[in-house]
């Protein structure tokens, strides 16, 4: 029987920190179908996130954007190692969008880290 030398057994692993690797500029799509010019912005993540991480990120995004008029109607999808944000106004500056998403990702990572610490 294998027993850990320090007498501890951990059943829950600490979630890995996921970060934005880059914006996929070549995949940005502009839609002129609506009264406003909207666009989709895809982001590449450092690794594929878990289902729990995706759920917390989407909740974080909604919380962060609910008071921002120009982003509040955006829609986010997380699949594989990508995030796609749709229905963004063209006036939104790239850096502002990156900062907003980075804050949501940092908050998500922090929430999962805290929940894993509580479980141990």
Q: What is the pLDDT of residues 28-41, one digit of tens each?
A: 777 766 655 567 77
Helix ranges restricted to H, the chain? 51-65, 94-119
Predicted local distance difference test score (pLDDT) of residue 63: 87
Predicted local distance difference test score (pLDDT) of residue 114: 87
Higher pLDDT, 103 or 26: 103
Give the residue-averaged pLDDT of 87-101. Answer: 79
Asked if residue 12 has pLDDT above 60, the reply is no
Give the residue-averaged pLDDT of 6-19. Answer: 55
- CA–CA separation, 12 and 116 (whole Å): 7
From the candidate CATH numbers 3.30.1490, 2.60.40, 3.40.50, 3.30.1360, the one assigned to the domain spanning 20-119 = 3.30.1360
> Domain segments of the chain: what residues?
20-119
- CA–CA separation, 14 and 16 (whole Å): 6
Predicted local distance difference test score (pLDDT) of residue 8: 46
Asked if residue 77 has pLDDT above 80, the reply is yes
Closest CA to 100 of 26, 28, 38, 41: 41
Map residue 14 onto helix, strand or coil: coil
pLDDT tens-digit series, residues 43-64: 888 888 999 999 999 999 888 8
């Amino acid at each position: 029987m294998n027993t850990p030398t320090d007498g501890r057994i951990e059943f829950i692993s600490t979630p890995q920190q996921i970060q934005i690797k880059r914006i996929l500029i070549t995949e940005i799509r502009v839609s002129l179908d609506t009264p406003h010019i909207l666009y989709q912005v895809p982001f590449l993540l450092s690794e594929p996130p878990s289902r729990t991480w995706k759920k917390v990120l989407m909740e974080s995004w909604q919380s962060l954007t609910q008071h921002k008029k120009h982003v509040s109607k955006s829609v986010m999808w997380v699949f594989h190692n990508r995030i796609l944000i749709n229905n963004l106004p063209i006036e939104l500056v790239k850096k502002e969008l990156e900062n907003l998403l980075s804050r949501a990702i940092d908050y998500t990572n922090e929430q999962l880290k805290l929940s894993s610490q509580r479980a141990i």
